[in-house]
Amino acid sequence: MEVLGLFSVPSWLMAILLVIALLLMYTIHKQRYFKRLDIPGPTPIPFLGHIHHIIKKGFQEMDMEMTQIYGNCYGTFFGNIPQLIVTDPEMIKQLLVKQFSEFTDRPRTIRTTKFFDSAITVAQGEHWKFLRATLSPTFSSNKMRNMTPLISKCLDSLIQNVRTLSEGKKSVEMRELFGAFTMDAICCTGFGLQVESQSNPDDPFIKNAKKALNISVGNLKFLLAAMFPELQRFIREIPILNQEAIDFFIQATKSALADRREAQSESYRDFLQLMINAHQDEGTDNDNGEEKDLGFDAYKRRGMTDAEVLANAIIFFLAAFDTTSNLLTFASYCLATNQDVQDRLRSEINKELGKSKPTYDNVFNLTYLDMTVNETLRMYSPAQRLNRMAVLDTTLCGVKIPKGLDVTVSVLSLHYDTKYWENPHKFDPERFSPENKDRIHPFTFLPFGGGPRNCIGMRLALMETKMAIAALLQNYRILTSSETEIPPKIDKRRGVTMPENGLYLKLEAL
C-alpha cells in the first residue's frame, strides 16, 4: 500500500497499525472518564491504568501516597475501569449509610464465575437483601454465646499445638498457627465439622483455603478483564479462584448437608443448619444460574436454593479464614513488640478470668483487650479497601457520580491519616480507651466496613480473636526472637493485609 505516494507499506503492517491505533483510541477514551467529570487523579498508563502502582507498591502504600497528593477524593484506573477513591469521612458516611439505597451493591469489577452470583458478598439489589436477612440471625449475640463450647474446644487444640510447635524451636510461625485454629473454628461453628487442621499440617481444609485465596492482581484474567471490561461477559467462566480448591469446599459442604438431612436433627444451630432451614426443595434453580431479580417477598417465598446454600457456604470458609487468622497474627506481633501492653492485658485477664476458660461473655467484658484488638485492627486492618457501586446517577457531597461507578474507600489511608490519628505508626491501645473512644472521628475507623452492608461475621471474628488472645496469654508469654522480622514486610500482592515472609515469634510457657 502506497502512503502519500512516498513509500509503500505492506497491507499486513497497515492492518496491525490500524488495530493498535483503534486500541489506543479505546483506552484513551476510557481513561478520560474522570477528566470528563472534572475529578483529579494521577495520569493513567494506557490499558494498565494504575495496575503497575498496585503491583509495585500494594494498595496501602499506593493509596496513602495518592491521598497525600490528590486529596480525599480522586480518580484512578484499574486497567481501563475507573475507581473513585475516597478518604473523606463525611463522604464515606453518605456512601455507606445515608445514601445506602443509591449504593447498595458492590461493583463487579472482575466478575467471578456464575456460581458466586448467589453469594452474599456478590449478590445485588433485592437478592442481596434476601440473603442478608436470611443469614444475619446466624451471627446474633445469642448464637455466638451458644458457640462458646465449640470455640473452647478449638482453643484447647491451639494451646496443645503451641506446645508441639514450640518444642525445640526458636520460634513459631504465627500465621500457620492461627490459620489452623481459624479453620478449625470455621468448620465447627459453621458446619459442625470436626477437622484436624491444628494437629495435621497437611490438612486438606487449610491447603485448599490457601490455594483458593492465593489471588494476585497479576493474574491473567484480572489483567484481561481490567483492560477490556466489555470482555467480562465472555471470559467470566474463567475462574479467578482456584477451581480445584473451590470444588473441595463444595464437596465438603455437600457431604455435610447430606449427613444433616439423613440425621434429620434440628438440634444444630450453625450457619449450615440455618441455610437448610431456609431451604425449599421447590426453589427455582435454573440451569444457567441466571434469574431475574425477583423482589424481596418472592425470594422469601421461594427460600434458599441449592446454589445459594453452596455459594454462601464457600464464602463463609473464605471470608473468615485469611481475615481472622491475620488479625490474630498481627495482634500477637503487637503484643510481642509491646511488652508493657502485654503485661497489662495479662493482668486484666488474670483479674477478670483467673483460671476460668475464656467465653463469649467474659472476653467481651475485658476493656483493655477490646482496646488492644481495635488498635491492631487500626494498624493492620485485614481489609485494605472496601467498595460500593452507584446503582443510579447521583451525587456524593457535591461530586457527580454516574451509575455504575466503583466508589472505593481506602481503609488503611484513613487509619493512618495524621488528621485523625496522632503519631499513627505508634501502636497505642489508649486511643480506644473509654475516655478517648468518643473523640475518634466517626467513619475514620472501618476495619469491618460500615452501614447495612458491613461485615456480617464481625461478632464471630471478634469472639474468636478475643478468646484466642485470652487463652494464649493465660498460658504463654509472647516474645520476639532473632527470627522475627521487625517491622513485618506486608505482602503487596494481596488485598488482605498479611506478612510477606510469615511471622515468627517465641512462645514461652508461663
Query: Is the Cβ of residue 427 or residue 448 nearer to ligand HEM in the bound state?
Result: 448
Residue 150 contacts ligand HEM per CB under 6 A: no
Rounded Cα distance between 125 and 81, Å, is 22
State in angstroms the smallest separation of the CB of 120 from ligand HEM: 5
CB of 70 to ligand HEM, least distance (A): 23
Q: Is 132 in the site for ligand HEM (CB under 6 A)?
A: yes
**Does 327 help bind ligand HEM (rule: CB under 6 A)?**
yes
Applying CB under 6 A, does 382 fall inside the site for ligand HEM? yes
Q: How far is CA 113 from CA 97, 116, 172, 254, 453, in A?
A: 29, 6, 38, 19, 22
User: Cβ(508)–Cβ(170) under 8 Å?
Assistant: no
The answer to whether residue 79 forms part of the interface with ligand HEM (CB under 6 A) is no
Q: Which of 386, 473, 498, 505 binds ligand HEM (CB under 6 A)?
A: 386
Which one of 161-169, 208-216, 316-324, 497-505 is the stretch in contact with ligand HEM (CB under 6 A)?
Answer: 316-324
The reply to whether 198 sits near ligand HEM by the rule CB under 6 A is no
Is the CB of 432 or the CB of 448 nearer to ligand HEM? 448
Half-sphere exposure of residue 355, counting CA atoms within 13 Å on the CB side? 1
Q: Please state the closest distance from residue 393 (CB atom) to ligand HEM, in A.
A: 22
Residue 455 touching ligand HEM (CB under 6 A)? yes
Alpha-carbon span 101 to 103, nearest angstrom:
6
Q: Are 75 and 41 in contact (CB under 8 A)?
A: yes
Stretch that binds ligand HEM, among 141-149, 354-362, 443-451, 472-480 (CB under 6 A): 443-451
**Interface with ligand HEM (CB under 6 A), residue from 51, 92, 311, 456:** 456
449 near ligand HEM (CB under 6 A): yes
Residue recorded with cell 475485658: 366
Task: Specify the pairing of strand 7-8 against strand 2-3.
Answer: antiparallel
Pinpoint the alpha helices (H) of 75-203. Answer: 89-93, 125-135, 141-146, 148-166, 174-191
Burial status of residue 53 (CB atoms within 10 A of its CB: 0-12, 13-18, 19 or more): buried
Query: φ and ψ at 173, to 5 degrees?
Result: -80, 115
Q: From the list 460, 469, 470, 505, which residue makes contact with ligand HEM (rule: CB under 6 A)?
A: 460
Determine, following the binding rule CB under 6 A, whether residue 320 of this chain makes contact with ligand HEM.
Answer: yes
Rounded Cα distance between 327 and 376, Å, is 7
205 binds ligand HEM per the rule CB under 6 A: no
- Window 238-257: residues binding ligand HEM (CB under 6 A): none
- Nearest Cα neighbor of 470 from 324, 370, 321, 334 is 370
By the rule CB under 6 A, 318 interacts with ligand HEM: no
Write out the three cell numbers for 295.
423482589
Element (H, E) at 386: strand 385-389
315 touches ligand HEM (CB under 6 A): yes
Is residue 240 within 8 A of residue 221, CB to CB? The reply is: yes
Q: Was 455 annotated as part of a binding site?
A: yes
Strands 406-410 and 81-86: parallel
Binding-site residue positions for heme: 455
Annotated binding site: 455
Residues found near ligand HEM in the complex (CB under 6 A): 120-121, 132, 315-316, 319-320, 323-324, 327, 382-383, 386, 447-450, 453-457, 460-461
